[in-house]
Structure formats: C-alpha cells, structure tokens
C-alpha cells in the first residue's frame, strides 16, 4: 500500500508566509500582489472545473458570474469590509473583481455539486494534552490543483484583532486563530435550505474578527446567511463548540471529555433533517468515528499524537489523510492539500503542506 501514497507531492520548503496590515482593502491588495500567480491560477482552475462539468452543472463561467453577483448586496450590507478585501485581492492580483467573487461563491453557485471540502477537524482541551495546551487540528481537503496555492496569512487589521490563517489561491482567509485566543476550523455541510444571501466564506472570514466565543457564534449565525458550514470554535480557555449551521437553522454542540471532532455531515438530529444527499457522506462518517476513536485511545495527547491522527489512512483513499485523486471524476477528485495543528496556548500554527504523511510540519507564530 505504501506506493499508493507516492501520488502525493512532496514539498521541500514551507508554504509562503504573507504578512499584511491596514484596512481590509489594503490587506487584500497586499495578498493579491504577494500571491498573484497562485491566485490567478486558482481562478483558472475554477473556470476549467466548471467547463469540464458543464453537462452536469448546466452552468458555464459567465452564468456562474451572473449568479455570484446576486450574493454581493447581502455581503455588502453586513460585511462591506470583507467585500473590500476581495476588491483588494482582485486589484493586487490583476484579476477582474467578478472572477474573484465567483471563485469565493463557487460552493453556492454550483449548488454544492462540487462535493470537495471533505475536511476533518478535531480539538483537545488542556485536560487532554500532556503539556496542558489547547489544540485545534484540521485537514484541508480540496482539489489537487489548488495545493500549489497554499499560503499562511499573518494579518494585523487596522480595526480588528491580529490573526494567523491558512488559505489558498484567491479565497478569503477563514481557517485560523486570532489574538483573542479564538480558533475556527470549517467543514462543508450540505443543507437543503441554501438560498441567496451572505456567502459562507464571507461569514467565516468575519469569525476571525470575533473577540468572544459568543461573538464568534453570532457572526456565524448572522441573518441572511446563504447556507452554513460546520464551524469548530476553540477558545484558549479550552472551551470548544461545534456550530452546525444551515441557512435558517443551527445547533451548538459541545463536549464532556475534552475532545471534539467534526467532518462533513451534521451530527445533531434536528440538523440531520435539513441535510441532503446523506448517502453520499459515508466517508465523512468513517473519518468522524475514526478520529473520535484515535482521540479516545490516548488520555493525554501531544502535538505529535495529533499529527499522527492527521496522517491516518484507514478507509484509504477517503481517509483522514485524503488521497482521492481519481482523474476520471473531476467533481469528486480531491486530496488533503494541507494539515494544520493550532496550539492556542502557544499562539502557534504547525502546518504541513500537502498530505501530512509525506510532508513535514512547519511552525508559524501569531504576530501580535
């Protein structure tokens, strides 16, 4: 089986760290300039994916742009600063604003036909770690084409808390943590009540500016959201919550054993009622139970034991360390493009670029 893992690229250097500051527009522009090539490439990849699947989606890029525009007024009304951030990214990367917006609203306009974000997230409190630190871990599963565009953003916004986040290509930052000790990990879920509203990437970008856990929840559950993710919120105090959201419903899950796991299906019985295509989420269920079991197997975890869970290959290739690269199914082709462990106590992020079974972790510190 070992040779099956060799289809995963090996990166010999850490992903780029992009340090930005100022207004959201200004930060976006700095990101766009620093990562012009991968951002342009991510838009080109999205266009190619839409073109390759036009029969199934009944949608070409021009129609996708037309659809995407409908979401903008909702985002402008509640979060104009993050729309400005998108404007800045587009300007810095020499891209049309419409194209970048379409990239950021892709999940909505394709009606989730692109079942790509099969991520795995878990967290442990200080009671369950050997050194008393609070950890939040996340495997980001996405199209293999976007792996080259992975980057770490260290941001000092002029009106919001500093944050450290992982992103790729031209997507708004959303997985990361801020100077108030709040981390957010996101997993796609598939609600039936999606509508035109505030795009989920804009909603999750806003969470990085939260000062309190309840404030982070309020940002997730904002009125007129387009759909929802599962947001795993972890606070440096060891409080951790899974906020399962759809466009109109939500549930907040917590834990009594100091660990919390989430993948791509709803866990709450009420939320299951608004989940579509549950039958397609079988590998999500396997990853969920597998991660829960591996977390239970150790009373006290270390950075290394959490990273070992991220490298797990049970149910390969749809494993926690995801290697599902079937070239013949572009809608389902995906892999783990990075794995990260946030140490909220030390304010550090340890990130492996690509599949963590093949790549070493690099450490980034929050600049606050």
Give φ, ψ of 20 to 5 degrees. Answer: -135, 160
- Report the DSSP pairing between strands 150-157 and 17-22: parallel
Shortest reach from residue 295's CB to Zn ion, in Å = 19
Give the strands of the sheet with 150-157, arranged side by side: 17-22, 150-157, 163-168, 175-178, 182-188, 229-235, 240-245, 250-253
* Contact between residue 183 and residue 121 where contact means Cβ atoms under 8 Å apart: no
Q: In this complex, which beta carbon is closest to Zn ion, that of residue 308 or of residue 346?
A: 308
With CB under 5 A as the contact rule, the residue among 45, 121, 355, 359 that binds Zn ion is: 355
Q: In this complex, which beta carbon is closest to Zn ion, that of residue 74 or of residue 288?
A: 288
Shortest reach from residue 138's CB to Zn ion, in Å = 15
* Contact between residue 100 and residue 201 where contact means Cβ atoms under 8 Å apart: no
Q: Is 349 in the site for Zn ion (CB under 5 A)?
A: no
Secondary structure of residue 311 in the 3-state scheme:
coil
Number of alpha helices (DSSP H) and beta strands (DSSP E) in the chain: 13, 14
Shortest reach from residue 178's CB to Zn ion, in Å = 30
* Cα–Cα separations (whole angstroms), residue 351 to 30, 82, 255, 297, 358: 22, 25, 26, 24, 13
* Contact between residue 309 and residue 323 where contact means Cβ atoms under 8 Å apart: no
Q: How many positions of this chain bind Zn ion (CB under 5 A)?
A: 3
Cα 52 to Cα 30: distance, rounded to the nearest angstrom: 32
Shortest reach from residue 152's CB to Zn ion, in Å = 21
Determine the straight-line distance between the first and last CA of the chain, rounded to whole angstroms: 44
Residue 18 token pair: 């992009």
Contact window for Zn ion (CB under 5 A) among 40-48, 96-104, 160-168, 351-359: 351-359
With CB under 5 A as the contact rule, the residue among 86, 209, 295, 357 that binds Zn ion is: 357
Shortest reach from residue 8's CB to Zn ion, in Å = 6
Q: In this complex, which beta carbon is closest to Zn ion, that of residue 242 or of residue 355?
A: 355
Q: In this complex, which beta carbon is closest to Zn ion, that of residue 200 or of residue 335?
A: 335
Q: Is 124 in the site for Zn ion (CB under 5 A)?
A: no
Q: In this complex, which beta carbon is closest to Zn ion, that of residue 171 or of residue 357?
A: 357
Contact window for Zn ion (CB under 5 A) among 87-95, 160-168, 254-262, 353-361: 353-361
Q: In this complex, which beta carbon is closest to Zn ion, that of residue 234 or of residue 321?
A: 321
Q: What track of x and - describes contact with Zn ion for positions 309 through 348 (by CB under 5 A)?
A: ------------x---------------------------
Residue count of the chain: 368
Shortest reach from residue 320's CB to Zn ion, in Å = 8
Shortest reach from residue 144's CB to Zn ion, in Å = 13
Cα 233 to Cα 125: distance, rounded to the nearest angstrom: 12
Q: In this complex, which beta carbon is closest to Zn ion, that of residue 242 or of residue 319?
A: 319
Shortest reach from residue 230's CB to Zn ion, in Å = 23
* Residues engaged in binding Zn ion (CB under 5 A): 321, 355, 357
């Amino acid at each position: 089986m070992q040779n099956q893992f060799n289809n995963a690229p090996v990166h010999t250097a850490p992903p780029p760290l992009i340090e930005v500051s100022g207004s959201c527009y200004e930060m976006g522009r700095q990101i766009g300039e620093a990562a012009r090539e991968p951002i342009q490439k991510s838009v080109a990849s999205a266009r190619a994916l839409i073109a390759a699947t036009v029969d199934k989606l009944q949608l070409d890029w021009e129609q996708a742009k037309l659809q995407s525009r409908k979401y903008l007024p909702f985002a402008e009304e509640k979060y104009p600063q993050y729309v400005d951030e998108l404007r800045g990214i587009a300007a810095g990367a020499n891209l049309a604003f419409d194209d970048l917006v379409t990239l950021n609203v892709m999940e909505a306009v394709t009606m989730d036909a692109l079942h790509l974000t099969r991520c795995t997230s878990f967290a442990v409190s200080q009671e369950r770690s050997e050194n008393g630190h609070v950890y939040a871990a996340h495997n980001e599963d996405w199209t293999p084409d976007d792996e080259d565009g992975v980057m770490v953003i260290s941001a000092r916004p002029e009106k919001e808390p500093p944050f450290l986040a992982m992103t790729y290509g031209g997507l708004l930052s959303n997985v990361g943590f801020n100077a108030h000790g709040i981390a957010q990990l996101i997993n796609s879920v598939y609600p039936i009540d999606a509508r035109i509203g505030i795009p989920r990437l804009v909603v999750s970008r806003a969470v990085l500016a939260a000062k309190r856990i309840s404030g982070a929840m309020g940002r997730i559950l904002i009125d007129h959201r387009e759909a929802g993710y599962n947001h795993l919120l972890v606070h440096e105090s060891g409080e951790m919550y899974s906020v399962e959201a759809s466009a109109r419903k939500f549930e907040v899950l917590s834990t009594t054993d100091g660990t919390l796991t989430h993948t791509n299906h709803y866990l709450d019985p009420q939320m299951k009622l608004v989940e579509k295509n549950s039958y397609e989420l079988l590998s999500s269920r396997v990853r969920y139970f597998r991660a829960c079991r591996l977390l239970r197997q150790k009373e006290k975890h270390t950075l290394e034991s959490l990273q070992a869970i991220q490298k797990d290959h049970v149910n390969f290739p749809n494993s926690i360390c995801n290697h599902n690269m079937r070239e013949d199914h572009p809608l389902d082709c995906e892999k783990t493009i990075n794995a990260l462990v946030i140490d909220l106590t030390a304010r550090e992020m340890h990130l492996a670029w690509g599949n963590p079974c093949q790549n070493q972790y690099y450490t980034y510190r929050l600049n606050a």
